[in-house]
Amino acid sequence: DIVLTQSPKSLAVSLGERATIHCKSSQNILYSSNNKNYLAWYQQKPGQPPKLLIYWASTRESGVPDRFSGSGSESDFTLTISSLQAEDVATYYCQQHYNPPLTFGGGTKVELK
Amino acid sequence: QVQLVQSGAEVKKPGASVKVSCEASGFTLTDHYIHWVRQAPGQGLEWLGWINPKNGGTNYAQHFQGRVTLTRDTPTNTVYLDLTGLKAEDTAVYYCARLPRDYVRLGWFDLWGQGTLVAVSS
C-alpha cells in the first residue's frame, strides 16, 4: 500500500499569514504516460465531510479560492494557503489514487495563532 | 440540487450487521463510480471500496474483504453499504463519495454524502 505522511500534524498561523502543509508518498505517484501526479487535497471542518480543494496535485477545484494552491511531483507535495482566513481553520488531508487501495494522509490541523 | 443523501445514525451490538444507504440527487448515479470511506472518532480517513452503479461491479479494500458488500438499486438512485461482523473498532462515520463523471475505478472525490455514524457497543 502507498503510505502518505503529512507534516506537520498541526500548525498555528496568524490571519493573513501563509500556511504550508507537506505530504510525502512512500512511492512515486507520477504516471509517466500522462505526466500527472495522482494526488488530491481535501479540507474538513468539524462535523462535515471532506471538501475537495485540489486534484492532479495542482489543479484547483471549481469555486475554491485562489489562496489555495498545490505543488510538488513524484513523492513530495505541498498545499499552501497564501493568506489564511478564519474560515480556513480545518483539518487538511492528501489522498493518492495512483494504486489501490486508495489511501489518505493522516491529516494536518490548521488553527489560528 | 446535486447531493448524496445518506441514511441516519445506527447503534449496533458487536457481531451484528449494518446497512447504510446513499441516495444520489440531482445527477445520474450511473455516470459515476461511488466509493465508501470511513472515519473513526478523532481519526483519519480509511477507504473501504467502490461500486460501479452502471453494472454493479465492485472492489473492496483487502482489510474489509469478506465483511463488506456494496450494492446498488438504480431505479431509486441508491447505493448501499453492508458491513457484517461488527466490532467496536468499526465505530465510525461512514461516507459515500463520488468520482468525477467518466472516471473509472480510482480518482478523487468531488462530492461527498453527509456521513452516517455507526456506533458499535454492547
Which residues of chain B neighbour A95 with C-beta distances below 8 Å? Answer: 45, 108-109
Is the per-residue pLDDT at A83 higher than 90?
Answer: yes
Is the per-residue pLDDT at A72 higher than 90?
Answer: yes
Residue A73 forms beta bridges with which residues?
A76
Which residues of chain A neighbour B115 with C-beta distances below 8 Å? Answer: 49
Nearest CB neighbour to B95, from listed A49, A98, A102: A49
Exposure string over B59-70, b if 16+ CB within 10 A, otherwise e: ebbeebeebbbb
Question: A89 near A33, Cβ under 8 Å?
Answer: no
Q: What is the pLDDT of residue A82?
A: 98
Q: pLDDT class for B82, splitting at 50, 70, 90?
A: very high
Mean pLDDT of B77-85: 98
Which residues of chain A neighbour B107 with C-beta distances below 8 Å? Answer: 97
Long-range pairs, A81-89, Cβ under 8 A, ≥24? A81/A13, A81/A18, A81/A19, A81/A20, A81/A110, A82/A18, A83/A16, A83/A17, A83/A18, A84/A13, A84/A14, A84/A15, A84/A16, A84/A17, A84/A18, A84/A19, A84/A110, A84/A112, A85/A15, A86/A15, A86/A112, A88/A19, A88/A43, A89/A45
Nearest CB neighbour to B45, from listed A52, A55, A93: A93
Q: Which amino acid is at A107?
A: G
Cβ-defined contact of B106 to A100 (cutoff 8 Å): yes
Residue B116, min C-alpha distance to chain A (Å): 10
Mean pLDDT of B24-34: 96
- Return the closest-CA partner of residue B72 out of B92, B96, B88, B46: B96
Is the per-residue pLDDT at B102 higher than 90?
Answer: no
Residue percentage of chain A with pLDDT more than 90? 100
Nearest CB neighbour to A107, from listed B44, B47, B62: B44
Residues 46-65 of A with CB under 8 A from B: 49-52, 55, 61
Residue B23, min C-alpha distance to chain A (Å): 16
Q: What is the pLDDT of residue A2?
A: 98
Q: pLDDT class for A85, splitting at 50, 70, 90?
A: very high
Mean pLDDT of A64-70: 98
Is the per-residue pLDDT at B17 higher than 90?
Answer: yes
Query: Mean pLDDT of all residues in chain B?
Result: 97
Q: Assign B94 to helix, strand or coil.
A: strand
Residue B111, min C-alpha distance to chain A (Å): 8
Mean pLDDT of A43-51: 98
Q: Where are the alpha helices (DSSP H) in chain B?
A: none
Mean pLDDT of A54-60: 98
Mean pLDDT of B94-113: 95
Residue B94 forms beta bridges with which residues?
B38, B116
Question: A11 near A4, Cβ under 8 Å?
Answer: no
Q: pLDDT class for B65, splitting at 50, 70, 90?
A: confident
